[in-house]
Amino acid sequence: MRISVIGCGYLGAVHAASMAHLGHEVVGIDIDEAKIASLSAGRPPFFEPGLPEVLESATATGRLRFTTDFSAAADADVHFVAVGTPQVADGDAADMRFVDAAFGALVEHVKQGDLIVGKSTVPVGTAARLAALIAERQPGATLAWNPEFLREGFAVKDTISPDRLVYGVPEGEAGERAARLLDEVYASAVAAGTPVIVTDYATAELVKVSANAFLATKISFINAMAEIAEVTGADVTKLADAIGHDARIGRRFLNAGVGFGGGCLPKDIRAFSARARELGRGESVRFLEEVDSINLRRRTRVVELVREAAGGLAGVRVGVLGLAFKPHSDDIRDSPALEIAMRLAEAGAIVRATDPEAAENARRRAPQVDVVDSTEEAVRDADVVVLITEWPEFTGLDPEEVGRLVAHRTVIDGRNALDPAAWRVAGWSYRGLGR
């Protein structure tokens, strides 16, 4: 099929390359010239495992190209919109300027019979509003909403082999045709038996935000238990193992630590709350405000643990391991690690931080943090070592070797990812979160 993908960020670039990999003819369109130049040269503008390979192989087939010229969309029949929906600067809501601009520009180039597919995570009601715009400007085109559930770090795999597909479509003939076209786009996943849920716009939009709200709630639930464990001497990781054996609960997403960050979970629960308030249903999701507070308190807790361990922060040397919001990503959007590093530096600590992939992004965003290129440099002469992003490079460190580099053997494990016994045997004072 001939596909256009509008917005080539973490979601769109992976979607465009993966669709071309699956045999479609794809043009990726973005307003960011540097990003398009990089993608056109076969270089991913961000770190994502597996993306360089699909980008290279798909580009070599001639089926994948990138441009800033929206008129290139005219050659495609199915158009995915994957632009950003960040939090507005002065509130909780999603900033819809990028979606509105992208739809406004795209609709000029779509023709009779085309299918426009929203992928961005949007407040419920957006698709109905945009469908009205399309009906006015190009009545022969149809809108579908097809939310995306990929995880950064596994984005290519999740795109090629999703665990479910959700199509929000209009009623009647147009909706049936839209679902058939999407089945063709995702033919390999459909043939592999991937569950397909065909529904209305509002349900499709809500599936996406409620999935992220549930995941965020699960993480904050275990972090709330960590807070109780901290005052009772209980061990939250053992607790998570024990409740996780109940298949109704499950162990996944019960890792207590500094909590969730990234370009999605935090802003999505806030945007959901804002939209629920607009709909007069604020109380239905008021618990998400608590989920957010629990999550943010964990960042403060790590700063306090460093202060306690070192007897203050001014002049204390802190080696911070990790800057990305999670391992296998260079994404520092709302990263707990970067925020903690910045707060420690602002409180007068001498912070040296490192990350295998996010160092460059962190340097640009937080010049007040001394971002270094190796673990050795980060921990050398440190009074306290803080692990915040559980990259294998960090969790696999030998406590004896690291111990020879630091000034004091004090470690704070912000992800409960180290083996406390091994570090204690090597003479470290070990503190986890909730254990």
Ligand X SMILES: NC(=O)C1=CN([C@@H]2O[C@H](COP(=O)(O)OP(=O)(O)OC[C@H]3O[C@@H](n4cnc5c(N)ncnc54)[C@H](O)[C@@H]3O)[C@@H](O)[C@H]2O)C=CC1
Per CB under 6 A, residues contacting ligand X are 6-12, 29-32, 35, 82-85, 98, 101-102, 120-121, 148, 150, 152, 263-264
Whether 217 contacts 272, CB under 8 Å: no
| Positions 90 through 129 that interact with ligand UGA (CB under 6 A) | 121
The DSSP secondary structure of 166-227, one letter per residue, reads EEE--SHHHHHHHHHHHHHHTHHHHHTT--EEEE-HHHHHHHHHHHHHHHHHHHHHHHHHHH
Which two tokens mark 419?
Answer: 């083996």
| Residue 59 binds: one of ligand X, ligand UGA, none (C-beta under 5 to 8 A by kind) | none
Q: Please report how close the Cβ of residue 119 comes to ligand UGA at its closest, in angstroms.
A: 10
The region, left, alpha or beta by phi > 0 then psi within -120 to 50, assigned to residue 348 is left
Q: Please report how close the Cβ of residue 382 comes to ligand X at its closest, in angstroms.
A: 32
Whichever of 151 and 424 has its CB closer to ligand UGA, that residue is 151
| Positions 239 through 278 that interact with ligand UGA (CB under 6 A) | 253-255, 257, 259-262, 264-265
Q: How far apart are CA 268 and CA 216, in angstroms?
A: 9
| Residue 17 binds: one of ligand UGA, ligand X, none (C-beta under 5 to 8 A by kind) | none
DSSP helix/strand/coil, 389: coil
| Residue 255 binds: one of ligand X, ligand UGA, none (C-beta under 5 to 8 A by kind) | ligand UGA
The answer to the question of residue 345 lying near ligand UGA (CB under 6 A) is: no
| Positions 187 through 216 that interact with ligand UGA (CB under 6 A) | 212, 215
Beta strands in 124-164 (DSSP E): 142-145
Q: Please report how close the Cβ of residue 164 comes to ligand UGA at its closest, in angstroms.
A: 11
| Residue 35 binds: one of ligand X, ligand UGA, none (C-beta under 5 to 8 A by kind) | ligand X
Angle at the Cα of 12 from the Cα atoms of 10 and 13, rounded to 5 degrees: 75
Site string for ligand UGA, 312-341 (x = CB under 6 A): -------------xx---------------
Q: How far apart are CA 120 and CA 7, in angstroms?
A: 9
Q: Please report how close the Cβ of residue 186 comes to ligand UGA at its closest, in angstroms.
A: 16
Other CB atoms closer than 10 Å to residue 396's CB: what's the count?
9
Strand 2-6 with 25-29, pairing: parallel
By beta-carbon distance, which residue lies closest to ligand X? Answer: 9
Whichever of 35 and 270 has its CB closer to ligand X, that residue is 35
Whichever of 9 and 403 has its CB closer to ligand UGA, that residue is 9
Q: Please report how close the Cβ of residue 104 comes to ligand X at its closest, in angstroms.
A: 8
Which two tokens mark 238?
Answer: 């053992």
Whether 254 contacts 240, CB under 8 Å: yes
Specify the DSSP class assigned to residue 152: T
Q: How many CA atoms lie within 13 A of 410 on its CB side?
A: 17
Pick the catalytic residue from 115, 219, 225, 264.
264
Candidates 144-152, 192-200, 361-369, 374-382 — which segment interacts with ligand UGA by CB under 6 A? 144-152
By beta-carbon distance, which residue lies closest to ligand UGA? Answer: 264
Is 8 known to be catalytic? no
User: Which residues are marked as active site?
Assistant: 264
